[in-house]
Structure 1
Amino acid sequence: MTPHRDRHGRGMRGPLAPPSVPISRTRAEVFDDLVMDAIAHLETRWAAQLENVQIAVEDVPPAYLLDRRAGQPIPLGTATPARGSRPAQIVVYRRPVEARATDLGELGDLVHDVVVEQVADLLGLDPQTVDPDYGWSDEE
């Protein structure tokens, strides 16, 4: 397949924005960075407990979690404990989280809180114990 050419036989000469410019990053890449920042923040206190935990980002929750008949809200993330040879896993669902945030700052706060909630669920602790900053932005 040949690249698209205009009527003069020329195509795009290069990317519209260099990789170092924020406009070149996709929403998914920005979201992944927010999740990794939240994990890095928690690893300063919980490195040993999070050492074998897999972190994943998916666009939407699987269908079995979306059973709306019970009136349950759409999950923003899930935590699955280790079983046998399968390691523990934390999954954050990008689209539901993005739908609840109005700007990048609020998105970062919400991602942080979702990650803290999932780590707390996995460790069997209160979110405030996992991170004293949990929910702090809600009180402003």
Structure 2
Amino acid sequence: MSDSRRETSRVTQRETFSSRHGRDLRSPVLGPELPILNNRIALFDRIAGGTVEYLRSLWPEQLNSVQFDFVSVPTDSIEKDSEKPQLWRVTRASKRITFFRVPLQRSGDLHMEDALQRRMFIEYAVYSAIAEYLGKEPWELLPPNGDRYY
């Protein structure tokens, strides 16, 4: 055999990284290339939080000092005489508006057929709560020229 043939037949040692089962290493499960997971809580927070920020930009003097809370359910006792669930609570004395996620989502799920209608229901609830705090009607919170934020 010639020397050139021996060099080509020589096997080179290749570095391999594998797990104990002989498979190659896997990529991370979550990475920057994957979209953010959508769940009901995150979706509610985006819709309600976005609506609150929009209304704060329209009414900065009246709403900058107001604290907005998003909680799952009311923690106080539920009124048994009331047929409607409590969707939000307005407390003017402490400048606080509290939204209850689960009753809002359940009310929207019961009466709305698609995602757009459920989104509009949450936005309307935010408008209604802020209008109650300001002593106005919900449609009075819209900008005078009819601009929309979406």
With normalisation by structure 2, the TM-score equals 0.65
Letter in 2 for 1:127: P
CA distance in 1, matches of 2:134, 2:68: 14
> Do structure 1's residue 109 and structure 2's residue 120 form an aligned pair?
yes
SS at match of 1:55: strand
| 5+ residue gaps, structure 1 | 1-7, 133-140
Cα distance between partner residues in 1 of 2:33 and 2:42? 12
Structure 1: distance between partners of 2:67 and 2:44? 17
Q: Which has the larger radius of gyration?
A: 2
Amino acid at match of 1:21: P
TM-score (norm 1): 0.70
Which amino acid is 1:58 matched to? V
| Aligned mates of 2:66, 2:97 — CA distance in 1 | 7
2: CA distance, partners of 1:50 / 1:20: 36
Return the alpha-carbon distance in structure 1 between the equivalents of residues 104 and 50 of structure 2.
Answer: 16
Alpha-carbon displacement from aligned partner over 1:69-106 (angstroms, at most 9, x marks no partner): 313310111111134xxxx1111111111112343312
How is 1:24-35 mapped onto 2 (pairs within 5 angstroms)?
Answer: 24-35=37-48
Say if 1:28 and 1:125 are closer, same or farther in 2 by CA, change over 3 A: same
Name 2:73's counterpart in structure 1.
Answer: 60
Measured in 1, the distance between the counterparts of 2:57 and 2:101 equals: 24
- Residue identity over aligned pairs, in percent, reads 23
Contact 1:78 1:118 in 2 (8 A): yes
- Distance in 2, matches of 1:61 and 1:92, equals 9
RMSD of equivalent CA atoms: 2.9
Structure 1 runs (4+) greater than 6 angstroms displaced: none
